[in-house]
Structure 1
Amino acid sequence: MRAVLWAAVLLGTVGGVSLLPPAHLRFDSVDYKTTAVWIPPSNSSTLLYNVQWKIYGEPEWLNVDHCQGIEKPKCDLSEETSDVTEWYYARVQATTPAAKSPWVTSRRFSPRWDSEISPPLLRLNTTMKGIVARVKPPRAQVRKQHRDLFYKIYLIRENGEEEEFEMNCCFHKLCIKDVKRKARYCFQAQTILPLQARSSARSEVKCITVR
């Protein structure tokens, strides 16, 4: 009887009910803050999850210490994937006190290529000289990994015409002097990674009226 029960646990089956694995495991990464997320199995009630990770090409799976026996269907892997030059896998397993599901494995993940980059934050104000647009860069990890990054500022005039300006990573202020009083000007900002030929989405449109 003990041997039968042990076999059932290995198969994730107790009392004839199979413990299905989690579904759609993937990496969700923005500005190198990386989380493994998944969908609980459809036959779940109260489940706990174990998460492991490994570097592509390495044979051994490693436990994510802070993601053993967790309740929420997500696990922060920012520290484990901090070397952005490597490629990674994650896997997750659902558990109950009596059973464990099969492991489900993610697709291969590259922080350098797969992490989404945010647009910079954009602030506007007017001075006696014109409009000053300031950008706040993405989190420090992005600047650390991409010292060549720069920003684009898009000026959108009332007639819909756009004008484009570039700002390097060390200069975060742009002054627009050719403006008219009582006219409304709108702006967007974008982070550019030139060596990867990648860019962020544009920021939300922000507008200001010259008094």
Structure 2
Amino acid sequence: MWSAVMAPSEHQRILKVWILLFFVLHQVYCLLPAPQNVTIVSFNLEHKLIWSPGPGTPIFTHFRVQSYRKKKKQWVSLLNCSELSTGESCDLTTYFNNPHCYYFARVQAFIPDQESNWTSSKLFYPILDSKKPLPFSILLSFYPPKHLKQEISLSAGLESAILGPPVVECTSCGNCLLLQLSPPPSRGHHRQLEFFFSSYIVNVSRTRDKAQFVIRASSGKNLINYLEPGVEYCITVLPETNMNKAVVPSGPHCAYTSPVPVNTVPLFVAALCTLFLLVALFSAALIYRGQLGVLDKLQPRILALSVYRVLRFSTGFDVSWTPEHHQHQNENV
């Protein structure tokens, strides 16, 4: 009798164990693959979170992103990154708007009936050098002590922003170059960039023989004097900052200094002398041509007067004839 009573309860316990084991196995083996390579990428204080799907992730899988609020000690979902598709990234610029704070984010893959484990990024500090070791006190402020050992191995690194290159305009001004330096354009963080891009290291290289020198400059207009005239110089500008070493220099900007000005006084004197000589020759030609014309007019009168004098001397008679009379007869004929 007792065996008959105990049999159903025994079967029920075995059934419950199998059901529990089934659900455990379902949770273990039916989880979506967690995202990999979760990284915060920042360029000129514009931040975004990127990742790659885990192996075997279905194509139609979506992803959600959360950021950690240090003051509230809790994770907060980001509305614009709550249902991202594969290949999309999460824009964090408006959320991580203070370059002097530490930030932290994580990603989860999900489909209607399944989801993956969360994958966290490294701590992100926009203006700190990523090569420096992360202070242990900062880790303690982000991780509760009971979870520190589980997550410190995954996120004990530090990611920082990349700054640069600056905007450079180079123009010639005689034996000098005029540089116009300004921070790169950025969405919503221009004032912070003006702080980081307040001073620069300028490398000046002469193209002909690669001779170079270095000067320091500031934002705005800068003048590089005492350069060789008529020579090409190339300028490379690097932002100078003590907080973030991940800076990108500008590309080379080349310009020619103005050539040596030509002395125009000898050319002007030579042109003036040439013009004076041409005028003198032209005037002499006109004068000479005019004298020949006068001789052509006087020659018949002189010849007639000579003939008249010869006749009068040889005959002794007073011949009533004058050159004007001869001219008048010729006109009548």
Q: Partner of 1:209 in structure 2?
A: 256
Deviates more, 1:143-152 or 1:85-94: 143-152
Q: Partner of 1:84 in structure 2?
A: 99
User: Post-superposition shift, 1:147?
Assistant: 3.2
**Cα gap change, 1:183 to 1:58, in 2 (>3 Å):** same
**Cα gap change, 1:128 to 1:181, in 2 (>3 Å):** closer
What are the superposed Cα offsets for residues 84-104 of structure 1, whole Å, 9 maximum, x if unpaired? 222111000111223111111
Secondary structure of 1:144's counterpart equals helix
Letter in 1 for 2:60: T
User: Post-superposition shift, 1:203?
Assistant: 1.1
2:78 counterpart (64, 72, 80): 64
1:109 and 2:124 matched = yes
Secondary structure of 1:73's counterpart equals coil
Q: Partner of 2:222 in structure 1?
A: 174
**Cα gap change, 1:174 to 1:199, in 2 (>3 Å):** farther
> Using the alignment, how far apart are the partners of 2:74 and 2:22 within structure 1?
28
User: Post-superposition shift, 1:131?
Assistant: 1.8
> Using the alignment, how far apart are the partners of 1:66 and 1:197 within structure 2?
29
User: Post-superposition shift, 1:115?
Assistant: 1.2
Letter in 2 for 1:63: S
**Cα gap change, 1:12 to 1:81, in 2 (>3 Å):** farther
On the 8 A contact 1:120/1:135 being kept in 2, the answer is yes
Structure 2 gap ranges (5+): 1-19, 129-159, 259-333
On the 8 A contact 2:64/2:82 being kept in 1, the answer is yes
User: Post-superposition shift, 1:132?
Assistant: 1.3
Secondary structure of 2:192's counterpart equals helix
Letter in 2 for 1:62: V
**Cα gap change, 1:203 to 1:4, in 2 (>3 Å):** same
Q: Which has the higher strand share?
A: 1
**Cα gap change, 1:117 to 1:39, in 2 (>3 Å):** same
Q: Partner of 2:205 in structure 1?
A: 156
On the 8 A contact 1:121/1:189 being kept in 2, the answer is no
Structure number with greater CO (CA < 8 Å, separation at least 6) is: 1
Q: Which has the higher helix share?
A: 2
**Cα gap change, 1:197 to 1:24, in 2 (>3 Å):** closer
Deviates more, 1:139-148 or 1:68-77: 139-148
Q: Partner of 1:200 in structure 2?
A: 247
1:97 counterpart (84, 105, 112): 112
On the 8 A contact 1:35/1:76 being kept in 2, the answer is yes
1:132 counterpart (178, 199, 222): 178
**Cα gap change, 1:210 to 1:128, in 2 (>3 Å):** closer
On the 8 A contact 2:176/2:224 being kept in 1, the answer is yes
What are the superposed Cα offsets for residues 91-145 of structure 1, whole Å, 9 maximum, x if unpaired? 0011122311111111111122111111211111123453212112134636436
On the 8 A contact 1:154/1:165 being kept in 2, the answer is yes
Q: TM-score, normalised by structure 1?
A: 0.82
Q: How many correspondences in the alignment? A: 203
Q: TM-score, normalised by structure 2?
A: 0.54
Letter in 2 for 1:121: V
Q: Percent identity?
A: 18
> Using the alignment, how far apart are the partners of 2:102 and 2:94 within structure 1?
14
Secondary structure of 1:147's counterpart equals helix
What are the superposed Cα offsets for residues 130-163 of structure 1, whole Å, 9 maximum, x if unpaired? 3212112134636436637311221112322322
1:190 and 2:238 matched = yes
CA RMSD of aligned residues (A): 2.8
Deviates more, 1:92-101 or 1:56-65: 56-65
**Cα gap change, 1:199 to 1:133, in 2 (>3 Å):** farther
> Using the alignment, how far apart are the partners of 1:108 and 1:56 within structure 2?
12
